[in-house]
Structure 1
Amino acid sequence: MNDIKITKILIVDDHAHAREAIREQLSEYKDFLIIGEAQNGEEAIFLADELNPDLILMDINMPGIDGLKTTKLIKEQHPNIIIVILTVSEDSTHLFEALKQGAQGFLIKKVNPGDWYPYLKSVVSDNIPVSYEFVNEVLQTMSSHPKKNTSTIPNPLSQREMEILKLVAKGYTNKEISNISFISENTVKNHLKNITKKLGIKNRVHLTRHAIENGWIEP
């Protein structure tokens, strides 16, 4: 019996040829199903409600409501929908802003099309490493704003969970954490599930940001 898990995808881009290119390069994968397309933020919000996709590929620059604002509005209503921002820019500030709005990933349009699939699969499985650029951006932002008082924020994580979180913050994948910690990859995943449940955060990059901002770890 075929046990392929299908990821339902909504494409959001104001350029028809861009949507077509994305559709063509992803349609060859049996576990990816394009269920809709939107050409602006308003349509994206409507289709997110109507179609309930698993994954939204969101262009960052669109007329009207841009991709960042659209991401924020969709995530407020559908926190379980995974959103990956699409852009032609490699500016890390865009990445940081996208993550602040709730996005789980960031994909440069000019990246080799063959790299899209493994990247998106990693995002969907929440096994994409946290980049050092992201950690640096968090630190830069913190240094340019008044530091909030975090002494009253308790850390609910066990010692083992903190060890796992520190390795996540250093950019290690689940498999690498497994090798470093001498535990199985399934055990790593179970620890991450417990960590995300305790903190109410479902994405490893957001976990890292939360831990850094609250002073639990120092990159």
Structure 2
Amino acid sequence: MASGNPGIGGAGRSANEPVRVVVVDDQELFRRGLTMLLGSEDGIDVVGEAGDGAEGAAVAVATVPDVVLLDVRMPKQSGIEACVAIKEQVPMTKIIMLTMSDDEADLYEAVKSGASGYLLKDSSIEEVAQGIRVVADGQSLISPSMAAKLIDEFKTMSRPERATGPALKLTDRELEVLRLVAKGLSNRDVAGQLAISENTVKNHVRNILEKLQLHSRMEAVMYAVRAKLVELD
């Protein structure tokens, strides 16, 4: 697990700059088509592409994008392996797995490896573009058809970790934020529930990730469920 600061709002991007994206997929026709379609979307700039996981990790290190789109199953290095490599070397870059795989094991491994999003390739270009924007803003995204599988995975965690070490360092407010994030609320919704600013929520999420030494909001929720810090209905 990378020990660097995972960041919360992309790789140093200010609010008025386009989201810088790298597309990694071994199917050239799909990759080129997606690159072309994303290039026509407002606020998105495709800065690189690659045909396998190893090349994708190298391109990500060279370009330091805000978001990388990764297929799960690719030659030379899988998307999961590439995700780990990218998060170790450019931890502020967010990862979205864009794949045909609806296998919950792939989803679970992606989340554990630091992915902030998991979309299926039957998603529309509008859904992919919006997913890029949401993840670049520090939030998490999963295809609706996969979300239920992740919740089921949470509920089957029968051997919880003890809430020791970093978990005990969370403040009461951070625990409140974590519980609301676990229910699927966005930063804006959490801010509304707690009557605090959205920037304050982002700061709390960043602190939670740093204290738990985790990569993403989803991974923090998984940790919290295992440690019985939160319960899902």
Q: So what's the TM-score if we normalise by structure 1?
A: 0.86
SS in 2 for 1:138: helix
Does the aligned pair in 1 maintain the 2:163–2:229 contact within 8 Å? no
- Residue 61 of structure 2, aligned match among 45, 49, 67: 49
Distance 1:151 1:178 in 2: 26
Q: Which residue of 2 aligns with 1:138?
A: 154
Number of residue equivalences: 214
Q: Which residue of 2 aligns with 1:184?
A: 197
- Residue 82 of structure 2, aligned match among 49, 58, 70: 70
CA shift at 1:29, angstroms?
2.5
Change (3 A) 1:35 1:157: same
**1:193 lines up with 2:206 in the alignment:** yes
Q: Which residue of 2 aligns with 1:39?
A: 51
Change (3 A) 1:191 1:149: closer
CA RMSD of aligned residues (A): 2.3
SS in 1 for 2:23: strand
SS in 2 for 1:218: coil
Q: Which residue of 1 aligns with 2:123?
A: 111
**1:122 lines up with 2:134 in the alignment:** yes
Consecutive unaligned residues in structure 1, runs of 5 or more: none
CA shift at 1:49, angstroms?
2.6
2:199 maps to a residue whose letter is N
Change (3 A) 1:81 1:167: same
CA shift at 1:45, angstroms?
2.5
Q: Which residue of 1 aligns with 2:102?
A: 90
Distance 1:197 1:127 in 2: 16
Structure number with higher relative contact order (C-alpha < 8 Å, ≥ 6 residues apart)? 2
1:199 maps to a residue whose letter is L
Distance 1:60 1:129 in 2: 16
Consecutive unaligned residues in structure 2, runs of 5 or more: 1-13
Q: Which residue of 2 aligns with 1:16?
A: 28
Instruction: Point out the more displaced range, 80-89 or 3-12.
Output: 3-12
Distance 2:15 2:70 in 1: 28
Change (3 A) 1:76 1:193: closer
Q: Which residue of 2 aligns with 1:167?
A: 180
Q: So what's the TM-score if we normalise by structure 2?
A: 0.81
Aligned identity (percent) is 32
Distance 2:182 2:214 in 1: 14
Change (3 A) 1:50 1:90: same
2:66 maps to a residue whose letter is D
The structure that has the greater radius of gyration is: 1
